[in-house]
Amino acid sequence: RKEVEQDPGPFNVPEGATVAFNCTYSNSASQSFFWYRQDCRKEPKLLMSVYSSGNEDGRFTAQLNRASQYISLLIRDSKLSDSATYLCVVNIAGNTPLVFGKGTRLSVIA
Amino acid sequence: NAGVMQNPRHLVRRRGQEARLRCSPMKGHSHVYWYRQLPEEGLKFMVYLQKENIIDESGMPKERFSAEFPKEGPSILRIQQVVRGDSAAYFCASSTGADYGYTFGSGTRLTVV
């Protein structure tokens, strides 16, 4: 089983739609969780950390379910500029490198 | 405050040559990580360094690849005797610790011809 698994997509949604991505992780001892965004041929950029209680940043909401070992990202009122690949990222222990999922591709269509 | 600086942005090497990729972390960051991304693939961890120390090199091929982060100067990822399969984007990231996420550089795109 892969350490971090994501549906590769693509998710093609119209502007204004709400879209949700899920990600599962294999190591129950994982400590920190993040969503990154990567545009085509660019570097990944931190979108948001994911906290146990769930957290929101504008149109973006992240949630963590430790019992089921999955993380979700919800994007409301999608914009064309949201088109990118969204990477689910997990830190297993404090001093170990982050593990990246392969990403979910989102295309927001006018 | 400059971000993570990588150079060169693009590097073309013939098979058998050496490739040297440089990374200067963000000011105040002492942790450096190198990742490789093949076309249409995810980011694969290669090596994690702190000043003058390799902390984890479990993702780096045993042969031809080496990395360093000297006391002075940037971190260097060196690939000797490059082969076509080494063609990829190599990203460097830095952090104050993994709990806070990483900041990535723009990457070096290596093409082996």
Do the chains contact at B107 and A43, CB–CB below 8 Å?
A: yes
Tokens 């965004």 -> residue: A37
Per-residue pLDDT of A1-54, as tens digits, reads: 679 999 999 999 999 999 999 999 999 999 899 999 999 989 999 999 998 888
Do the chains contact at B99 and A32, CB–CB below 8 Å?
A: yes
- Residues of chain B whose C-beta is under 8 A from some C-beta in A? 33, 35, 41-43, 45, 48, 55-56, 59, 89, 91, 97-99, 101-107
Q: Are A98 and A36 in contact (CB under 8 A)?
A: no
For the beta carbon of residue A95, count every other beta carbon within 10 angstroms.
13
Per-residue pLDDT of B64-111, as tens digits, reads: 999 999 988 999 999 999 999 999 999 999 998 756 789 999 999 999
Residues 6+ apart with CB under 8 A from B23: B4, B5, B6, B32, B34, B74, B75, B76, B77, B92, B94, B105
Residue A53 CB-density burial (10 A; 0-12 exposed, 13-18 middle, 19+ buried):
exposed
Interface check for A34 against chain B (CB to CB < 8 A): the answer is: yes
The SS3 call for residue A82 is helix
The whole-chain average pLDDT of chain B stands at 93
The SS3 call for residue B74 is coil
Beta bridge partners of A85: A38, A105
